[in-house]
Amino acid sequence: MARVIERIAVLGAGNMGAALIGGILKAGVARPEQVVATTHSAERAAEVSAKYGVRAAAGGNRAAAEGAGIVILAVKPGKIAGVIEEIREVLDGRQIVISVAAAMPIKVVERELGRRMPVFRAMPNIPVVVEEGATAVAANDAASDEDKELVARIVRAVGVVVQVEEEAMDAVTALSGSGPAYIYMVIEALIAGGLKMGLSHEVATRLAEQTVLGAAKLVRETGAHPAILRDQVITPGGVTISAIHELERHGLRAMLISALETATNHSRSRTRAMLDQSKN
DSSP states along 161-227:
EEE--GGGHHHHIIIIITHHHHHHHHHHHHHHHHHHTT--HHHHHHHHHHHHHHHHHHHHHH---HH
The predicted-structure confidence for 219-273, as pLDDT tens digits, reads as follows 999 999 999 999 999 999 999 999 999 999 999 999 999 999 999 999 999 999 8
Residue pair 72/8 in contact (Cβ under 8 Å)? The answer is yes
Percent of the chain that is helix, strand, coil (3-state, to 5): 60, 15, 25
Phi then psi for 60, rounded to 5 degrees? Answer: 75, 35
Whether pLDDT at 171 is above 70: yes
The chain-wide mean pLDDT, for the chain, equals 94
Whether pLDDT at 48 is above 90: yes
Per-residue CA distances from 172 to 8, 121, 135, 240 (Å) = 26, 12, 9, 31
Query: Which distant-in-sequence residues (6+ apart) come within 8 Å of 166 by Cβ?
Result: 105, 106, 121, 138
Residue 4 is predicted with a pLDDT of 63
The predicted-structure confidence for 177-232, as pLDDT tens digits, reads as follows 999 999 999 999 999 999 999 999 999 999 999 999 999 999 999 999 999 999 99
Residue 2 is predicted with a pLDDT of 56
In the chain the domains, ranked by start, together with CATH numbers, are 8-169 (3.40.50.720), 177-259 (1.10.3730.10)
Element (H, E) at 71: strand 70-73
Residue 78 is predicted with a pLDDT of 86
